[in-house]
Structure 1
Amino acid sequence: MYQVLLYYCYTQLDNPEQFRDEHHRLCLDLDLRGRIIVAAEGLNGTVSGTREACAAYMAAVKADPRFAALEFKIDEVASHAFQKLHVRVKPEIVHSSLHHMRPHEKTGQHLSPQEFKELKDRADVVVVDVRSDYEYNLGRFKNAVTLDIENFRDFPERVERLEQFKDKKILTYCTGGVKCEKATAFLLEQGFENVYQLHGGIIKYGHEVGGEDFEGQCYVFDGRVAVDVNTVNPSVISRCRHCQQPSARMVNCANPHCNDHLPLCESCGEALGGACSEACAAHPDKRPYDGTGTYPKQSNHYTPAQGLASYRG
């Protein structure tokens, strides 16, 4: 049996490049796969491995006092959720264009899943989804305000849409919590006073309180693509791009020049050969469709150890 670990921690890393190499070697030793971002501001990752390997990894990370506040969200899976391992140094652990924010010093008040559940429907509260459009179109909390952003770096440009709610409590949420840390820090900087965030994000909310009132599925950044989090009152809110019937089946358009990530039901997927439109279905470079709608990159004899020598940053 395997596990997927989702985690982040804002903390000061004085030598991200050195930490990145040491962390990469740790993951190699444990045969972990996934995507890990290292920055001067901290660590952010999603990895998969055997239960034993994940337990050893969590123990090793938590043994570092810099990551004392880090929490792991754990899902059980049948096999690796990634094909490769990437450990990269970047300017931020989540691309936000808010380089000056220091969430480990000042951020919105954390709410446990139970506290979030108890507050979210009150009249003096507004729930705000800080994720991208393709994520919240697949699933979101009932009555949540969405901000029409293609990427989290667009968040600062959309904050003016929340000005009308300055007299309310702002409850933000995202997949695992990493985006909310910077989003709420920025809201506080912009003069919002009652700013909160769902600690551990949608994933932790699903684990601890059954995901009640989260409509649809939660988009995740691994091979599963989407996961169910609501075991209390589940629903499907996304619709097939082509026929508009309810569908939670996410695919990549088979046209590699489009590669849009979208809901596409099985019948339309077959009819269009995995493409998002007739134009993409007719494209000469369209990839063969095997019914999954996923197109993993060829490994080209890749081994995780290559990452130690083949790239930096």
Structure 2
Amino acid sequence: MNRYHTLLYYCYTTIENAEQFAADHLKFCKSLGLVGRIIVAEEGLNGTVSGTVDACKTYMESIHSDPRFAATEFKIDEVEEPSFIKMHCRYKSEIVHSGLRDPNIIDPKKKTGIHLEPKDFMEMKDRDDVVVLDVRSNYEHSLGKFKNAVTLDIENFRDFPAKINELAQYKDKKILTYCTGGIKCEKASALLLHEGFQEVYQLHGGIIKYGKEAGGKDFEGKCYVFDNRVAVDVNSVNPVVISRCYNCEKITAKMINCANPECNEHFTQCDDCGWQRDGCCSDSCKEHPRKRPYDGTGYYVKVPQQVNLNKKGRTDFLNDLKETGNLQLS
């Protein structure tokens, strides 16, 4: 039995004094021994946290006890070890960066696409009058996507609004949007409605919930996640690997960061090319003087350079070293 859980969740709601809330919430999470990454904004919460089963249970109960977050839905994964190294809770202008901050145009609390439960999404996705739209970034859908889904050439979700014109050809279709956990679809579907698309839907709970409740049928490849696991399996019905090595085109599901910290490209690379290229995407990166040692994982913990640390700072830094065993400064 796994001793840890990883929770994925979001909630669009109004948070007054969001910056102070973020500071207080960080202390609360640390008091439970949780690790993870949470974004707080006036528009709500977006988080992935990991910890013991009891700590995660307490956290969920606390979130649900607050009327602002009572409707929050948690996607729960059982994991063998915590999915993060540290706990971060940061205040930002949006809980998912889209550049769409005018509530008169986009407000997920008021109007979004129709939420489809996984079984309903599965029943609709192959109809002739339906287009399945992936609203995630290139590195995400290159690793895995729904069969026959329309994908967009975007590096970040904030590039999505600029791609609306490319989707105009589908205005007479039913648009089924999907993303990892549902949060991007809230704004993507709202924007599509604002731009005149008539029938817009979104996969409730995203790929993760679809995997749990519909067996992940017809999701090809792995699902990228924003924690140490990097990618997770979602399809237990008809799984297939679709991603290819950036260097040799061999089929592989392994995704890494380039060992050159000044590049840090996120890409798929097979084990053979990984060892041959020291975890680098190119020959120039392989020869870079700051290239990090490659250990076969392609995962590097980032820790900011700290100057004139006080006693507490030195203690925190040493704890990080103990926690990771092989920290890379970048």
TM-score where L is the length of structure 2: 0.90
Moved more, 83-92 or 16-25: 16-25
- 1:204 corresponding residue in structure 2: 209
Q: Decide which of 167, 170, 179 is 2:184's aligned counterpart.
A: 179
Indicate whether 1:259 and 2:259 are aligned.
Answer: no
Q: Say which is worse superposed, 275-284 or 208-217, in terms of deviation.
A: 275-284
- Percent identical among aligned pairs is 64
* Structure 2 match to 1:281: 286
Report the CA distance between 1:165 and its aligned residue.
Answer: 0.6
Residue of 35, 46, 49 corresponding to 2:48: 46
Task: Tell me the SS of whatever aligns to 2:318.
Answer: coil
Q: Select 2:118's aligned residue among 101, 113, 131.
A: 113
Rounded Cα–Cα distance in structure 1 between residues aligned with 2:207 and 2:319: 33
Determine if the alignment matches structure 1 residue 91 to structure 2 residue 108: no
Deviations along 1:38-57, one digit per CA (max 9) or x if unpaired, are: 10000000010000000000
Query: Which residue of the other structure, out of 284, 301, 305, is the alignment partner of 2:318?
Result: 301
Aligned to 2:274: 269
Asked which structure has the greater RCO (Cα within 8 Å, sep 6+), the reply is 1
Q: Distance in 2 between matches of 1:158 and 1:234?
A: 30
Select which of 234, 241, 260 maps to 2:246: 241
Could you list the runs of 5+ residues in structure 2 that have no partner in the other structure?
304-315, 321-330
Alignment partners' CA distance in 1, 2:318 and 2:62: 29
**CA deviations over 1:198-226 (Å, ceiling 9, x no partner):** 00000000010110000000000000000
Question: Is residue 196 of structure 2 the alignment partner of residue 191 of structure 1?
Answer: yes
The Cα of 1:302 is off from its aligned counterpart by 6.0
SS in 2 for 1:300: helix
Find the aligned partners of 1:289 and 1:53 in 2 and give their Cα distance. 34
- Measured in 1, the distance between the counterparts of 2:318 and 2:228 equals 20
- In the alignment, which of 135, 143, 148 is matched to residue 148 of structure 2? 143
Q: Which residue of 2 aligns with 1:30?
A: 32
Q: Residue type of the partner of 1:38?
A: V
Name the residue aligned to 1:60: 62
Distance 1:239 1:64 in 2: 45
TM-fit CA distance, 1:28: 1.2
CA distance in 2, matches of 1:163, 1:211: 29
Measure the CA separation in 1 of the matches of 2:71 and 2:108: 12
Aligned residue for 1:224, secondary structure, equals: coil
Distance 2:319 2:101 in 1: 33
Q: Which moved more, 1:198-207 or 1:270-279?
A: 270-279
**Cα deviation code 1:258-283 (max 9, x no counterpart):** 11011111111111111112221122
State the partner residue of 1:232.
Answer: 237
Q: Secondary structure at the match of 2:109?
A: coil
Q: State the one-letter code of the partner of 1:22.
A: D
The CA deviation string for residues 23-50 of structure 1, in whole angstroms up to 9 with x for no partner, is 1122011111111011000000001000
Q: How many residues align?
A: 303
What is the CA distance between 1:301 and its match in structure 2? 3.3
**Structure 2 Cα separation of the partners of residues 15 and 285 of structure 1:** 41
Give the partner amino acid of 1:199: H
SS in 2 for 1:34: strand
Q: Which runs of 5+ in 1 are unaligned?
A: 304-313
SS at match of 1:158: helix
RMSD: 1.1
In structure 1, C-alpha distance between the alignment counterparts of 2:202 and 2:84, rounded to whole Å: 29
Show the counterpart of 1:12: 14
Runs of 4+ in 1 over 3 A off after TM superposition: none
Aligned to 1:308: none
Give the superposition deviation at 1:18: 2.6
| Normalised TM-score (structure 1) | 0.95
